[in-house]
Structure 1
Amino acid sequence: MTSTAPVEAGQSAAELLDSVNSALARYVVLPTLDASYAITLWIAATHAQPAWAHAPRLVIRAPEKRCGKSRLLDLIEAMCHDPFITVNASTSSIYRSVTDDPPTLLVDEADTIFGPRAGQHEDLRGLLNAGHQRNRPIKRYNAETKQVESLPTFAMAALAGIGAMPGTIEDRAVIVRMRRRLPNESTAPFRHRRDRPALRELATQLNKWVRTSLDALELAVPDMPVEDRAADTWEPLVIIADHAGGDWPDRARAAVLALTAEHDADQETSLGVRLLTDCRAAFGDDAAVSTTSLLDRLKRDPEGPWAAHGPVGMTPAKLADYLREYDIRSGNVRFSDGSQAKGYKRVHFGDAWQRYCPTLNTNTPAAGTLLQLLPLEGDVA
C-alpha cells in the first residue's frame, strides 16, 4: 500500500515525511536516525487515529535536565494532530476532550505524575494506561444524573520526563532516550512565533494526506518484524511508512528492531524471573538440590540479591512463595548417599525455565558465578 499521489504540487508522501524528519533534525539533536524516523512516523500516525486499533505512546526520557526533551515536545506539538497539552488541565477536561477522533495528548514533566507522591494524578494515570487500546473506557458515576458514564480513553500520547516511566506505559510505547548535546553538536534556535507556523503547515499537509486514506489504513495488515504487544504498538507507524513508500518502509522496520531491542536490553528483570535464572545456575547439572543447599548457593552469589533479601536473606518460606507462582513446589527428596531432605527437583523447573528465561538450554549448566560453586554435601549429581 504505497501513496504515490502528490501531497502538494510536486511532493510525494515520502518527501513529506522527509520534510518532517528534517524539521526535527533542524531544532533538536536526536540520539539516532532510527529514533528520528520513529518520531516522524509517530507524528504522522496521530493524524490517522480513527484508523488505529492501538494508540502507541511516545516516551521521551532523559537522565538529566537540558537534554532537549521539552524542545522535542514543542516540535511534536506543532506537527501532530490536534495537540492537547495537559499542563494545568483538569483531568475532567482531558476526559471530555477524548472523542472518536481524539486529540494528541502531550505531557511534559511526566515523571511527576507517577510515583508515591502523585496521588492527585490517579485519574490521568488511569487514562494513559487504558487509552492504548480501543474500547477500553473508564466508568465514572455522575452524581447529577445518577448514572454511570462510560468515558472513552483511546488517544495517542507523548510523555516527556526524566528517567524511566512505569512499565505499564513503556511496554506500550515507542521510547526515545534523549541525551545532552556535545559541544560540537549544534541546532537552530526554535522561536515559537517565528518557526511554529511552518511546522503547522507540515501538520496540515500530513492531515490532508492521511485523512483521504483512513479506510485503507484501517484495513492494512503490514508485515511486522516483532510480535505481540510490540507489534500492536508499532503497527500504526509501519502502516504509515508503507503508505508513504520510498525508503520509509525499510526505515520503519529498521527503527522497530533497533528501538525494541534497546528497550528489551534495558528492561529490568522481575525478581521472580531473576530467581528462576539463578536457580538454574545454582542447580548446575544436579538432578535435585536440598532447600538448604539451594538457598546457600543463591546467597553465595556476590552479585545476587538473595543474601540481603529481607532481614536474614532469602528464607525457605519466601523461596517457596516465589516458586509456587511458577507451579514449582518442594518435596521430600532422597539423595544418592541415602539421606532425605526437603528440596527441589530439576525436572519441576523445566517448564518455567523454558517459558520465562529460555536463553540457555535447560539441559546444560548455565554459565555464571553460581556454576563455579562446588556441590554441597548431601546433594546428588
Structure 2
Amino acid sequence: MDVVAVPGRPMGAAILDSLHAALTRYVILPSPAAVDAVTLWIAATHAQPAWAHAPRLVIRGPEKRCGKSRLLDVVESTCHDPFITVNSSPAAIYRSLNDDPPTMLVDEADTIFGQAAGGNEELRGLLNAGHQRNRPAKRWDVNTNTVESIPTFAMAALAGIGAMPDTIEDRAVIIRMRRRAPGETVSPYRHKRDRPRLRAIAHQLRTWLRADLPALEAAEPEMPVEDRAADTWEPLIAVADRAGSHWPKRARAAVLALTAEAASDDRGSIGVRLLVDCRTAFTGHTALSTANLLTRLNSDPEAPWREYGHGGLTAIKLGKLLAEYDIRSCNVRFTDGTQAKGYLKSHFVDAWNRYCPTPLTAVNTAEEGEPSQPSQPSHPWSERDGYTAWDGLSRPTDPHPPAVRQAPK
C-alpha cells in the first residue's frame, strides 16, 4: 500500500488515492461519493489543529452485518491518534482531550443513544459542543477550589444501528451502510497483519498535512453548501484543495451528493414536521377551526400525532407546539356564518418559509431576485391580516362573511 508516484500528480493526491484504495479493499461503501467523503474525513483528522470545526463521521446501518465495525476498523488504522471505545464515561473522554486531541471512535453508538440507553445527555452535550472550538466544559475542582476549563474539541466517528440523535447528525458526514449483496466481495481484515500497512498510510498523511497546517488554517475554500453544512465539510474540502489533481472536484461532488441524501432522509424536528403537516392540511383553505385542523392531523395513520395521547394531538398541545413559531389561534368567522377558535393560513407563511420552504418557494424567490429581508416587529394578527377579531360573544351580522377580511389598499 505504498504511495505510487505518478508523473504530474501531486504527492497529496497520491496519498489520498492510496487511502481510497485501502478503503475499497476492505469495505463496500454505498457510493463513490461515500468513499471519497470517508477518505477526506480520515485525512482531515491529521490536521485537527488547523480546523475551526471538527466534523463527525456517522456510520450507520439498518441491521447488523452491514460493515459498520469493519469500516471503523479501517478508520481506526488510518486516522490521527485513534481513541476507540464501545462505552466510555464522559469523564474518561473529557480527560482524554487536549490541545491536539485524539480522534474519538465510538462503536455500537446505538447503545449509547438508543431508546433504551437512558439518557447520556452529558456525552451528547460533549459531542455537540466538541464540533466547534472554544466550547469548553466547566467543572468545579474541589481539590483546588477553582473552576476547571476542559476542552471538548475533537473529531469523532460513531458507528451504530439506526440514526443518531439529530443534534449529532446535523454536525456529521453521514455514511449509510448496507449489507453486502451477492457477488460483492472484500478482502478480510486482520488486525495484526493489516493494521501496520494502514498505519503507514496514516504516517504519510500526517507528514504531508502537518507540514501544511498554516496554509490549511488560512484556507477559505469555495463551498457548495452553506451554514452548518459548510462548517462540517470545510475541513474535507480544504484537504482536497490542498491535494489537488482530481480531488477538489470529487470532494465537492461528494458534498452535494451526501448532503442531498441527508436532506431527503431528514424529517426534521417534531415542530418542523407539524409545520409541514399543517401546510398540507391548509391546502385549499385560508382558515381552519382548531377542531378541523386536529382532525386532519390526527387522521394521518403514518404521522406521529396519534402518539400524543389517547385521542392524539389536542388543542392545548397543538397550541404549545405552534407558539414556538409565533403562531397562535384566534377567533375566526367562517363563510357559512359559524364562529370558532381556529388558525389562519397567513399566520403560518413566515414559519413555512423559514423552517420548511418548498422547492417552488425557493425557485420563485430566486426568479424574483428578492433577497431575504431582516426581521420586522410582529404586529397583532388582526392588523396584519386586515381581519376584525371576534370578541367571542356577538353574532355575525353578515350571513356569509369571508373567513379573512382583506385590508383596504
**Is TM more than 0.5 here?**
yes
- Counterpart residue type for residue 170 of structure 1: E
CA contact (8 A) 1:289 1:380 kept: no
CA contact (8 A) 1:78 1:199 kept: yes
- TM-superposed CA distance for 1:346, in Å, is 2.1
Q: How does 1:195-214 map to 2 (within 5 A)?
A: 195-214=194-213
Which residue is equivalent to 1:352?
351
TM-score (norm 1): 0.87
Which residue is equivalent to 1:99?
98
CA contact (8 A) 2:34 2:258 kept: yes
Change (3 A) 1:72 1:303: closer
- Counterpart residue type for residue 61 of structure 1: R
Change (3 A) 1:238 1:379: same
Between stretches 238-247 and 63-72, larger displacement belongs to 63-72
Q: How does 1:29-40 map to 2 (within 5 A)?
A: 29-40=28-39
Helix, strand or coil: the match of 2:225?
Answer: coil
CA contact (8 A) 1:289 1:379 kept: no
Change (3 A) 1:276 1:176: same
CA contact (8 A) 2:42 2:79 kept: yes
Which residue is equivalent to 2:324?
325
Between stretches 189-198 and 216-225, larger displacement belongs to 189-198
Coordinate RMSD, CA, aligned: 2.4
Q: How does 1:176-215 map to 2 (within 5 A)?
A: 176-215=175-214
* Structure 1 residues without counterparts, runs of 5 or longer: 1-5, 363-376
Q: How does 1:215-364 map to 2 (within 5 A)?
A: 215-306=214-305, 309-359=308-358
Provide the C-alpha distance between the structure 1 equivalents of 2:246 and 2:187, rounded to a whole number of angstroms.
Answer: 26
Helix, strand or coil: the match of 1:164?
Answer: coil
- Counterpart residue type for residue 255 of structure 1: A
Helix, strand or coil: the match of 1:289?
Answer: strand
Provide the C-alpha distance between the structure 1 equivalents of 2:91 and 2:296, rounded to a whole number of angstroms.
Answer: 54
CA contact (8 A) 2:58 2:174 kept: yes
- TM-superposed CA distance for 1:321, in Å, is 1.9
Same amino acid, percent of matched pairs: 67
Deviation digits for residues 20-59 of structure 1 (CA, Å, limit 9, x no counterpart) = 0000111111111111100110111001000000000111
- Counterpart residue type for residue 163 of structure 2: A
Change (3 A) 1:126 1:292: closer
Provide the C-alpha distance between the structure 2 equivalents of 1:125 and 1:276, rounded to a whole number of angstroms.
Answer: 27
Provide the C-alpha distance between the structure 2 equivalents of 1:222 and 1:213, rounded to a whole number of angstroms.
Answer: 15
TM-score (norm 2): 0.82
CA contact (8 A) 2:87 2:106 kept: no
Deviation digits for residues 318-371 of structure 1 (CA, Å, limit 9, x no counterpart) = 222222221112222223343332222222222112112221668xxxxxxxxx
Provide the C-alpha distance between the structure 1 equivalents of 2:305 and 2:86, rounded to a whole number of angstroms.
Answer: 42
Between stretches 132-141 and 284-293, larger displacement belongs to 284-293
Which residue is equivalent to 2:110?
111
CA contact (8 A) 2:130 2:152 kept: yes
Helix, strand or coil: the match of 2:292?
Answer: helix
Helix, strand or coil: the match of 1:159?
Answer: strand
Provide the C-alpha distance between the structure 2 equivalents of 1:310 and 1:343, rounded to a whole number of angstroms.
Answer: 21
CA contact (8 A) 1:290 1:379 kept: no
Deviation digits for residues 265-324 of structure 1 (CA, Å, limit 9, x no counterpart) = 111233322222222222233332222333333344454444564212332222222222
* Structure 2 residues without counterparts, runs of 5 or longer: 362-399, 405-409
Between stretches 98-107 and 125-134, larger displacement belongs to 125-134
- Counterpart residue type for residue 165 of structure 1: M
Change (3 A) 1:235 1:302: same
Q: Which has the higher contact order (CA 8 A, sep 6+)?
A: 1
Q: Number of matched residues?
A: 360
- TM-superposed CA distance for 1:124, in Å, is 3.3
